[in-house]
Structure 1
């Protein structure tokens, strides 16, 4: 993936909720995606630890990315989440978290992915599995224009 696509997909150019989360794309290739987030006060719950909704949102993003890699600059593939199960296994209140997603199985329209979130000490914070459907027009590797 080129730097331009990383910036568009994981940088400040993203609209809405993605930009609000403030993550960055570390890597993205066929069947695998990695994003990182530097925790800020806005990511914490009332108890002062990372909010489960932030973890779930990041997992949703990276699991969908794992099945929608597009090698063509200026284009992307899109997916809709059909189901997502998240299990929380730890907590943290600062530092950088890393979220990884791997496509495990699928056909031309439906795929399954799994993922994990670790803090910067390597502690497991959450795991997830999800099922996604490729959006119409995104079935082919060249996807659709961004």
Structure 2
């Protein structure tokens, strides 16, 4: 027996070919790449379209990403799913690390330790996630991120370790 969902809503979105940005990795440093995305000179990555994130601001070792909660972010309890918040935290920590990397050097998340302090919902207003690099070495970097709601209340916090590596296509 199939149940019909009342008040079904739909959402469509589009994105640019992600290879447009990855082709820039050997030519531009992380900060330059992120700033070009924030200015609209390069497309935002598909994940940002999927989540529906807002502004992206980047400076050396620091990134701010915003998200206005929507119903499509909700879990069965009617609050923003923890996976959405974790993705926002991972984006901010990873991009903060990326902002410190030269051209031809990449990163990947090794771990993400998140703590959720309060639920987020439409009533939370715009969520602001700030990621900062705490320490960067040759092979790893440690970053943290904080999500605050429109009132400035802390919603979630995370630390992340990222592995730093030379991109294969940039080797001589």
TM bin, normalised by shorter chain, reads 0.7 to 0.9
What is the Cα deviation at residue 45 of structure 1? Answer: 1.0
2:113 corresponds in structure 1 to 85
State how far apart, in whole Å, the 2-side matches of 1:60 and 1:107 are. Answer: 19
What is the Cα deviation at residue 105 of structure 1? Answer: 0.6
Q: Does residue 52 of structure 2 align to residue 22 of structure 1?
A: yes
Stretches of structure 2 that go unaligned for 5 or more consecutive residues are 1-31
Structure 1 runs (4+) greater than 3 angstroms displaced: 1-4, 13-16, 75-78
What is the Cα deviation at residue 38 of structure 1? Answer: 1.1
Per the normalisation by structure 1, the TM-score is 0.79
Count of residues in correspondence between the two structures: 135
Stretches of structure 1 that go unaligned for 5 or more consecutive residues are 139-143
Q: Which has the larger radius of gyration?
A: 2
- Preserved contact between residue 118 and residue 126 of structure 1 (Cα < 8 Å): yes
Per the normalisation by structure 2, the TM-score is 0.68
**How big is the alpha-carbon RMSD for the aligned residues of Structure 1 and Structure 2?**
2.7
State how far apart, in whole Å, the 1-side matches of 2:50 and 2:90 are. Answer: 15
Instruction: Please identify which structure carries the higher strand content.
Output: 1
1:141 corresponds in structure 2 to none
